[in-house]
Structure 1
């Protein structure tokens, strides 16, 4: 049977071809760090660098945005928040004490994922005191996916870290002493876990008034850029 322009098969075939081409493109764009000593050392240095940068910063969001720009992770290196609605976590008595509020003071909860382009950089739980923010800030947080750090920038905030923990290391503890065997090189890509490190911090206004507690879990998307060339 001769196919005509009205026959559905050619358009379906074209769709399949386009889908295959798209899949190949995404596979080609996937970032893979080799599983060898040099690569593990580079990953260790990078994770320690971004960890230290965030701990030393007044805004995790702005630090992530600079990291995204410095490593050309997106044509538009802007951190955006994906708000996870319908998730609630009640503030504990200890959190209320750190925020210096009474037992009946309203505290809101917000959970977001922070992205740069298509790269998931962080997942964050945030408890904040709405009466210590402006109406405009509360509106942004209630009605939009604006990252918390950007919404509260007019407060000139700073942060005090309560806890910082490493969730994964590409090299074993005490590797530098030579007493612990290093992982053998593999022909496959380095298996990066979802979560790399975690911070808990309290945010203060420039007048030293606490207004938010945040727990941030930083993701392997921080390493979504090509490894440095081998030397």
Structure 2
């Protein structure tokens, strides 16, 4: 939540925690049918009747580590043609594709899914789940018009290799 771009935050995390020798965040698109547009997302994006919604699902990686899974609903008409082309044809992270819009991010929710030291159900062995944290954010351009809503689930890979 320290930066509007999850990609930037993950790049700093990856470098600070030495997850790979040369940290760089890469988005890998997960192809398949779009997830249904939740009504709360439709309302948050302030969609007009008939206004199109784009959808991308990506995994953000540092080296071969999947650090997050993200679902992103966005309004193509509020982006430039070049931005939409990048989103449609490349694996570029959304935040990097639209950074020239100088967007801001408002956290809608943040849910901790696992806490170290929490009671276990495996006879004393600590079990770390696949996802540790879930954030929802709304990206807006100057003036407050929403361009995107994202749901990010951060994986256990963010912790680095086991000791």
**CA distance in 2 between partners of 1:71 and 1:191 (Å):** 21
Match of 2:47 among 101, 105, 119: 101
- Kindly indicate whether the alpha-carbon contact (under 8 Å) linking 1:96 and 1:102 is maintained by their aligned counterparts in 2: no
TM-score by length of 1: 0.65
Is residue 213 of structure 1 aligned with residue 149 of structure 2? Answer: yes
State how many pairs are aligned.
162
Deviation sequence 1:4-50 (CA, Å, 0-9, x none): xxxxxxxxxxxxxxxxxxxxxxxxxxxxxxxxxxxxxxxxxxxxxxx
Which is further off, 124-133 or 95-104?
95-104
For 1:164 and 1:64, the matched residues in 2 are separated by 16
Aligned-residue offset at 1:206 = 2.5
Measured in 1, the distance between the counterparts of 2:84 and 2:12 equals: 26
Give the TM-score of the pair, scaled to structure 2. 0.90
Residue 167 of structure 1 aligns with which residue?
113
Q: RMSD over aligned Cα, in angstroms?
A: 2.1
Instruction: List 4+ stretches of structure 1 deviating above 2 A.
Output: none
Q: Write the mapping of 1:21-40 to structure 2, written as runs, cut at 5 A.
A: none
For residues 165 and 99 of structure 1, the distance between their equivalents in structure 2, rounded to whole angstroms, comes to 21
Residue 204 (1) aligns with residue 140 (2)? yes
Q: Which runs of 5+ in 1 are unaligned?
A: 1-54, 174-181
2:79 is aligned to 133
Between structure 1 and structure 2, the one with the greater Rg is: 1
**Larger relative strand fraction:** 2
Which consecutive unaligned segments of at least 5 residues does structure 2 have? Answer: none
